[in-house]
Amino acid sequence: MKKLIIESTSNSPKVILDSVNNLFEISGESRPENVSKFYKPILEWLDKFGMKLSEQKNSNKKAPYEFNFNFEYFNSSSAKFILDFCKKLGKLRSEGNDIVVKWHYEEDDEDMLEVGKEMSRMVKFSFEYVEIEVE
């Protein structure tokens, strides 16, 4: 399956969706001018990934698919698409796929931790929370 890599800009996050190397990450700031246009290929990639997982159901099980979210900031428009992404992950998980979400947050950023907990509650599966030490 083709990987999707988008380099970060001053207003959009870095995206690595690479199923061959089992690397899945969205990190940085998310406040793109056209949020829908930015997240559409990301959600489409995840749909294709889900179809691939369905086809592989009986093949050898790999390690868990670990999705890392490491946002410094995201606006409310981005939040909707991030939630949509997490809902799709929840659906894949409910279909028996080994999906793990790691929600990274800076140790002094209680708001980002709370947003992660709220997203976890809304998609009805537990995230792992990774505290990042701020120097």
Q: Which two tokens stand for residue 21?
A: 């190397």
Given strand 23-30, what is the order of strands in its sheet? Answer: 4-6, 14-18, 23-30, 65-74, 99-106, 128-132
Domain total of the chain: 1
Q: Can you tell me the distance from the alpha carbon of 78 to that of 29, in angstroms, rounded to the nearest whole number?
A: 10
89 pLDDT above the threshold of 90? yes
The answer as to whether 59 is a domain residue is no
Amino acid 59: pLDDT? 62
Query: pLDDT band at 134, cuts 50/70/90?
Result: confident
- The residues, any chain, with a CB within 8 Å of residue 130's CB and separated by 6 or more, are 102, 103, 104, 105
CATH of the domain at 14: 3.30.750
Domain with 120, as residue range(s), is: 4-53+64-132
Amino acid 62: pLDDT? 66
The answer as to whether 58 is a domain residue is no
Amino acid at 53: L
Q: Which two tokens stand for residue 30?
A: 């998310």
Query: pLDDT band at 58, cuts 50/70/90?
Result: low
Mean pLDDT of 1-30: 96
Residue 101's CB is within 10 A of a number of other CB atoms, namely 24
The answer as to whether 108 is a domain residue is yes
